[in-house]
Amino acid sequence: MIRHIVAYRFRPEVTPEQAAAVVAAMDEFPAHHPAMINFHSGVNRSNRDDRFTHAFTVEFRTEQELTEYLSSERHETFVAEVFRPVVAERAIVSYEYSPSEGDMMTAPTRRRAPFGMEYARIEVPDIEATIQFLIYHVGLQLEGRTDDRAYLRADIEHHSIELIAAPHREAGHTVAVGFSVENDEVLADLQKRVADAGMEIRDLEERQQALCRQGFATVDPNGLVVELFVDFQEYAEAPHVEIRPLDLVHPFLVTDNFDATVAFYQDVLGFIPSDHVVGSTTFFRCEDRYHHSLAISRNREPGTFVAHLCFAMKSFDHVMRMRARALYKGSPIASDLVNHSASTSIAFYLHDPKHGPRFELCDSHRVFTPEEHETHRARHMPADPRNIDVWRPAADDWGRF
C-alpha cells in the first residue's frame, strides 16, 4: 500500500470561506478516483507545530494508482487553478507500507454497491436533432456515430449518453442505465445476489461488451435494463470543451411499482439509502458517495419512466451559462432554479420530450466523506416542497414541478 500525505497552509489573505471551499473541493476527489482509499482531511490541532494549518491523507494500493491520480487532468487542473493560488506552503510525503490485520479490520464489511452511474441508453425519434440538443444545451461531446447509434461523453469515460435511432417513437425513451463496479469480486457478488433473488441474468448489450472488460445485465421490476461492469473504457483526457458536465450523477426513476423497485435496488444491488421523502421518494447512493446516484419516486398514476438524468457542471457559473443558452434558443426549461434540500445542489431542468427525459444541470451536488458514507443515517422528511427546494416559500407551494 502507498500512503500519500499532504500538509499545507493558506496565504494570510485567504478568507475562512475561501479556505473551506478549497477543502470541500478536495474532499470530492475520492468520488472521481475509485483508487483513492481511506481519504481523511482536517485542520491541524497540534500544540507543538502550527506551521501547517491543514492536511489530508489518502491511500493507494499501488504506486501506479498514485501516479495516475497525480497526473490526471482533474488533479492537475485543481492544483494549478485552485490550490496553488491560495496556498503559501505545502509538504508532501508518500511512503509504502504493509497493512496490518488491524488495518484490514477497519474496512467496511457490508456488501458493496455499484460504484456509480456511467451512462443512459435512450431511444429517440430524431437522432440528429438530439445530438445537437445535447451538444449545445448540455455540453456533451460527440465521440462516435453510425446511422442508428451515437455516443456522447462528458468527461474521460467512454460515454455518458448512448442514443439509438427509433423513428417509430414520438418521444425519447430511456431503455437502459449503466453502472460501473469497483472490481471483479464485487461484480461477481452482485451477479450472485441478482441470481439468488431470482432475477434474470443477461449478457451486456453487444456494443457495450466491447467497451468494458466484463459485466452482466439484469432487468429491474419496471423493465428498465441495468448494466453492471468493470473497466469501462476511458479517454486519456476530458473533452476540450470549456462549458461541459464533469459527471453523470444519477437517474431519477418514477414508478407505480415503488416498493418492489426500492427492494430491488436496495436489497439486491446494495444501493444505500441517503434520505427519504416519506410516502414519495427515496434517494440512494453508490460507492462514489454522491448523495444520490439513484432516486426512486412513487407514481400515483399507472406507469414507469426515467424522469430525468442529472449532470454535474463545473461551477454554478456554468449552470447559469447553460440556462442562458436555453433562454436564448427558447428551449423549454421544465423547472427553473431549484436549491435542493437533500443534495445541496442548485440546478435547473431542460425538457423537450423528443430528446428523452429531463436533463438536470446542477452545481455542488453533495459528496459524503468516507466516514459519512459508512455511518450516515437516512432522514425521513415529510412530503413538503421545502424538502425538495429550500427556496420554496410554503408547504403548499408545489407549483415549480
Q: Give the mean pLDDT per block of 10 residues along the chain (401 residues).
A: 94 92 88 83 88 93 89 90 94 87 53 96 98 98 96 97 98 98 95 96 97 98 97 93 94 97 96 95 96 96 95 96 97 95 95 97 94 91 92 86 60
Per DSSP, what are the bridge partners of residue 284?
273, 294
Is residue 194 a contact partner of residue 267, using CB atoms and an 8 Å limit? no
The residues near 139 (Cβ < 8 Å, ≥ 6 apart) are 154, 241, 243, 244, 245, 311, 313, 318, 322
HSE (side-chain half, CA atoms, 13 Å) at 196: 9
Per DSSP, what are the bridge partners of residue 311?
248, 361
Q: Is 342 helix (H, G, I), strand (E, B) or coil?
A: coil
Amino acid at 392: R
Looking at residue 371, its pLDDT comes to 86
Looking at residue 106, its pLDDT comes to 47
Which spans in 285-367 are helix H? 316-329
Q: Is 351 helix (H, G, I), strand (E, B) or coil?
A: coil
Pairing of β 304-313 and β 294-298: unpaired
Q: How far is CA 258 from CA 79, 180, 208, 303, in A?
A: 44, 24, 28, 11
- Starting from the edge strand earliest in sequence, which strands make up the sheet with 304-313, in order? 333-339, 346-350, 358-363, 304-313, 245-255, 294-298, 281-285, 272-277, 379-381
Q: Give dist(CA 296, CA 366) in Å, integer.
A: 18
Looking at residue 46, its pLDDT comes to 87
Please give the grid coordinates belonging to residue 316.
454554478
Global pTM reads: 0.75
Is residue 94 a contact partner of residue 5, using CB atoms and an 8 Å limit? yes
Pairing of β 161-165 and β 281-285: unpaired
Q: Is 297 helix (H, G, I), strand (E, B) or coil?
A: strand
